[in-house]
Structure 1
Amino acid sequence: MNKTITKYGTIALSVLISIGAFLFWYIAYPHAMSYQEQYQLFLWTSDYFVERVSLPGGLADWLGEFIVQFYYVEWLGALLLALLYVALQRLTARLLPPKWGVLSLVPVLMLWWLMGDINVLLSLPVAIVLALALACVMPRRYSWIDVAVLPVAYWLIGPIVWLYIVVRAVQLGWKHLWTAGWMVAVQLMAYAWLLPQWPLQQALTGLNYYRIPLHYPQWSGYDKDMYELIRMDYLVRHERWDDIVKRAGEYRVNTPFWSNCVNLALSQKRLLADRMFDFYQSGEDALVMPRTRDLTSMLPSAEAFWRLGMVNSAQRYMFDTQESILNARKSGRCTKRIAECMLVNGHYKAAKKQLDLLKKSLYYSSWANSVILSDDWVNAQPEYRRLRQLRYKENFLYSYEEMDKMFGLLFMNNTDNKMALDYFLAQMLLKGNLKGFQQYLGAAQQYGGYRQMPLGYQDVMRCIQMQGNVQGSPFANYAKRMMGGQQQ
């Protein structure tokens, strides 16, 4: 009876883990999966496989990226993660005495919490599962087999093979501690002979478990502000503008990234002139950020540039973002946008190189295969045709401090570009250029398509007339905060 209860209790635990993990990732944290998916580009080629397995831990890395590519389809990504958690729980239960089966939940919960660090790569949990699976299939009486298995296991799954060594020491009995000793010796000799080009610290802790080289996962769990910014970027990527505006009214993160996302959503709903200062504005960088070499900050700015018609700036920001990925991966999202920028600019030879990469992927290949490298095809696409009409007609350099002038020039090149007009006036307000705002306010009335002056502009004019002494004025509050140098 007790064996039956233990058996079915473990199965019930597996079912609960699978349901909980699926709902967690699919309902609560789909943006976390999107974040991981957009910073890799899995290619279905033998060269890609060989490149991955040519490094220690390469098989775990390849399998991790293989799974992550399916995050593009949220329910499928959540399902695969749930199965991975269940595999970890079942393997742990098999290695434990039957009466301790409930403890198989502990490593699952620990891994779940650890994956709250956005830089933990899926190759780490994959390697853990492979190490436990190897321990389960190895015969428990013959330790000499490990002499051949250990170097191969290290090369395939990386330093997590230490977990395998610990499990084997327990299986063989602590009286065989000498066995664990020579196992370690075999590993250390392999590190010294096979990996002279890698720092010993990195060889011992993993080349592909963590996105930042020579750093370790943080046990900080799911930081609310960090994941809120990831959510905003996810909503921008999928053009869910209403959801962004709604979310901005519920929770805010006082960063330029957050302001960029909210203002972009407002502009797409033609609400920027009315409601911009109803939300937190970080300062002059609230519309687009200056170039920042990291893998996240410039994404909403690049999306804004793309929709404005500043195609070259969008391409440059996306390229810099991709090159800032610390584990030197390509990005499916960035590569596609770079290819689109090249298509709009008519740089077909350069675009072909990006398209050839995307054609070897799973979820970007259908779009890449549909592209025809010709002006006729590009002009037949409504979005690309519109961007060709909006973009600058000449190439030139500019500094970030002149961004308001660039928005104004973009609008003057095509007065139908209402987003450029909104960004032009908004940037002057963010900089405190009230004289310039008043000078060009007539353009908003003439070309903005408004039936009446937007509420936000009315508020600004009242503040100018009353010298900022307007109770409850959103713009007055922003101006006072900027003058006081306080970021609230």
Structure 2
Amino acid sequence: MNKTITKYGTIALSVLISIGAFLFWYIAYPHAMSYQEQYQLFLWTSDYFVERVSLPGGLADWLGEFIVQFYYVEWLGALLLALLYVALQRLTARLLPPKWWLLSLVPVLMLWWLMGDINVLLSLPVAIVLALALACVMPRRYSWIDAAVLPVAYWLIGPIVWLYIVVRAVQLGWKHLWTAGWMLAAQLMVYAWLLPQWPLQQTMTGLNYYRIPLHYPQWTGYDKDMYELVRMDYLVRHERWDDIVKRAGEYQVNTPFWSNCVNLALSQKRLLADRMFDFYQSGEDALVMPRTRDLTSMLPSAEAFWRLGMVNSAQRYMFDTQESILNARKSGRCTKRIAECMLVNGHYKAAMKQLDLLKKSLYYSSWANDVILSDDWVNAQPEYHRLRQLRYKENFLYSYEEMDKMFGLLFMNNTDNKMALDYFLAQMLLKGNLKGFQQYLGAAQQYGGYRQMPLGYQDVMRCIQMQGNVQGSPFANYAKRMMGGQQQ
């Protein structure tokens, strides 16, 4: 009876884990998978494989990136993650005494919670599964194989091989605990001979388990505000503007990143002039952020620049974002956008380098292979042709403080660029330049394509006439908040 319960209980637990994990990642957190996928570019080349396995933990790192590339297709990524969780549970159950089969759920739940830290790389759970799998296939008695397999295992899966050592110590009995000391000595020798360029702390705890060097995973779980920003970036990437506006009305994160995403969505729906101040505005950086060297902050700004026609700024922001990836990976999303910027600017030789990389990937290769490096092909693409009409005709430098002027020049360059007009007037309002707003309000009436003055502009004019004493005015509330912040 107990054997039957154990057998079918373990199977039932595996089924529940697989279903739960699939639904969790596919329905609740697809944006988390997109976040991981966009910060790597897996290449199907032997050089890429050799580069990965040339470091301790390289095989786990390569396998982790191999799986993450499939996150591009959300259901497939969720399925592979579910299978990884099930593999962890099944291997744990095999190593435990049969009557303790239910405890095989514990490592899965711990890993699930740990992966709430968005900087945890998939190489860590892959390494854990490989370590447990190795323990399962090893003979139950100690032999020379144990001594031979340790350095190889360390090089392939990294320092998580300590998990294998602990499991083997339990399997063989604590009299073989000296193996742990031998392994530590071997690891230190490998470090001294082969890895002097890496900090000892990193080689002992993993080179590629965590995105930030010399940091450790945080047991913080799924931070709501952090994942809300990840969700917004995901929706921007997939141009789901209606979903962004809807979500913004349900949950708010008071950061410039959030404001950038919401304002971009409003502009794409031609609602920026009407509803901008219905949502949180962070200040002068609410439309686009100044250059910030990290791997997330500039993405919505780069997407806004791209759609405005500020192609050089979009390329610069995407390049800086890619160079800010702390584990020195390329980004499929950034590489593609950089290539598109080069195509629009007619820099075909430079674009060829980016396209050659994308052609060696799985999900970006079809687009890269379709590209023809010629003006005729670029002009035949509606989006690229439109951007060539909207972009500046001359190259020049500008400072972030002059962003409103840049939007104005962009609009004067092509008065059909209604997004530039909306951003021009919005930036003046964010800066509190009411005189300039009134001066150029006529341009909105003439070129904006509005049948009547947008509600947001009406609200601003009422505030100007009433000197801000308009109860319930979104713009008046913003102005008071900004003035209060300046006084503090």
Q: Same fold (TM over 0.5)?
A: yes
Q: Deviations over 1:101-133 (max 9, x none)?
A: 100000000000000000000000000000000
Distance in 1 between residues matched to 2:406 and 2:486, nearest whole Å? 28
Identity of aligned residues (%): 97
Distance in 1 between residues matched to 2:221 and 2:177, nearest whole Å? 35
Give me the CA root mean square deviation. Answer: 1.1
Deviation at 1:191, TM superposition (A): 2.6
- Secondary structure of 2:486 counterpart: coil
Distance in 2 between residues matched to 1:176 and 1:61, nearest whole Å? 30
Contact 2:62–2:123, Cα closer than 8 Å, also in 1: yes
Contact 2:89–2:107, Cα closer than 8 Å, also in 1: yes
Distance in 2 between residues matched to 1:369 and 1:436, nearest whole Å? 47
Q: Deviations over 1:220-273 (max 9, x none)?
A: 000000000000000000000000000000000000000000000000000000
- Secondary structure of 2:369 counterpart: helix
State TM-score, norm by structure 1: 0.99
Deviation at 1:486, TM superposition (A): 7.6
Distance in 1 between residues matched to 2:242 and 2:4, nearest whole Å? 52
Deviation at 1:185, TM superposition (A): 2.6
Deviation at 1:142, TM superposition (A): 2.4
Distance in 1 between residues matched to 2:161 and 2:66, nearest whole Å? 21
Contact 2:165–2:179, Cα closer than 8 Å, also in 1: no
Contact 1:18–1:82, Cα closer than 8 Å, also in 2: yes
Distance in 1 between residues matched to 2:194 and 2:88, nearest whole Å? 30
Contact 1:359–1:366, Cα closer than 8 Å, also in 2: yes
Deviation at 1:179, TM superposition (A): 3.2
Contact 1:310–1:391, Cα closer than 8 Å, also in 2: yes
Contact 1:308–1:417, Cα closer than 8 Å, also in 2: yes
Deviation at 1:371, TM superposition (A): 0.2
Distance in 2 between residues matched to 1:340 and 1:203, nearest whole Å? 38
- Secondary structure of 1:485 counterpart: helix
Deviation at 1:195, TM superposition (A): 1.7
Distance in 2 between residues matched to 1:167 and 1:174, nearest whole Å? 11
- Secondary structure of 1:486 counterpart: helix
Deviation at 1:175, TM superposition (A): 2.4
Deviation at 1:194, TM superposition (A): 2.4
Q: Deviations over 1:402-449 (max 9, x none)?
A: 000000000000000000000000000000000000000000000000
Distance in 1 between residues matched to 2:434 and 2:443, nearest whole Å? 15
Question: 5+ unaligned residues in a row in structure 2: which ranges?
Answer: none
Partner of 2:205: 205
Q: Deviations over 1:291-344 (max 9, x none)?
A: 000000000000000000000000000000000000000000000000000000
Contact 1:283–1:430, Cα closer than 8 Å, also in 2: yes
Contact 1:146–1:183, Cα closer than 8 Å, also in 2: no
Contact 2:284–2:430, Cα closer than 8 Å, also in 1: yes
- Secondary structure of 2:177 counterpart: helix
Q: Which moved more, 1:405-414 or 1:138-147?
A: 138-147
Distance in 1 between residues matched to 2:237 and 2:422, nearest whole Å? 21
Structure 1 residues 126 and 486, CA, compared in 2 at 3 Å: closer, same or farther?
farther
Contact 1:143–1:172, Cα closer than 8 Å, also in 2: no
Distance in 2 between residues matched to 1:332 and 1:22, nearest whole Å? 24
Partner of 1:222: 222
Contact 1:34–1:71, Cα closer than 8 Å, also in 2: yes
Deviation at 1:181, TM superposition (A): 2.8
- Secondary structure of 1:292 counterpart: coil
For this pair of structures, how many residues does the alignment match?
488
Deviation at 1:143, TM superposition (A): 3.5
Distance in 1 between residues matched to 2:320 and 2:253, nearest whole Å? 24
Deviation at 1:197, TM superposition (A): 1.8
Contact 1:147–1:186, Cα closer than 8 Å, also in 2: no
Q: Deviations over 1:429-478 (max 9, x none)?
A: 00000000000000000000000000000000000000000000000000
Question: 5+ unaligned residues in a row in structure 1: which ranges?
Answer: none
Structure 1 residues 78 and 487, CA, compared in 2 at 3 Å: closer, same or farther?
farther
Distance in 2 between residues matched to 1:274 and 1:451, nearest whole Å? 13
Partner of 2:369: 369
Contact 1:254–1:487, Cα closer than 8 Å, also in 2: no
Deviation at 1:487, TM superposition (A): 12
- Secondary structure of 1:9 counterpart: helix
Q: Deviations over 1:378-407 (max 9, x none)?
A: 000000000000000000000000000000
Contact 1:282–1:487, Cα closer than 8 Å, also in 2: no
Deviation at 1:188, TM superposition (A): 2.8
Q: Which moved more, 1:133-142 or 1:430-439?
A: 133-142
Contact 1:57–1:156, Cα closer than 8 Å, also in 2: yes
- Secondary structure of 1:430 counterpart: helix
Distance in 1 between residues matched to 2:179 and 2:415, nearest whole Å? 78
Contact 2:32–2:231, Cα closer than 8 Å, also in 1: yes
Contact 1:481–1:487, Cα closer than 8 Å, also in 2: no
Partner of 2:108: 108
Deviation at 1:5, TM superposition (A): 0.8
Contact 1:60–1:126, Cα closer than 8 Å, also in 2: yes
Distance in 2 between residues matched to 1:59 and 1:50, nearest whole Å? 10
Deviation at 1:186, TM superposition (A): 2.6
Contact 1:210–1:216, Cα closer than 8 Å, also in 2: yes
Distance in 2 between residues matched to 1:286 and 1:119, nearest whole Å? 26
Structure 1 residues 63 and 101, CA, compared in 2 at 3 Å: closer, same or farther?
same
Partner of 1:193: 193
Structure 1 residues 193 and 272, CA, compared in 2 at 3 Å: closer, same or farther?
same
Distance in 2 between residues matched to 1:92 and 1:292, nearest whole Å? 44
Q: Deviations over 1:47-80 (max 9, x none)?
A: 0000000010000000000000000000000000
Deviation at 1:199, TM superposition (A): 1.2
Distance in 2 between residues matched to 1:350 and 1:242, nearest whole Å? 35
Contact 2:45–2:360, Cα closer than 8 Å, also in 1: yes
Distance in 2 between residues matched to 1:224 and 1:486, nearest whole Å? 29
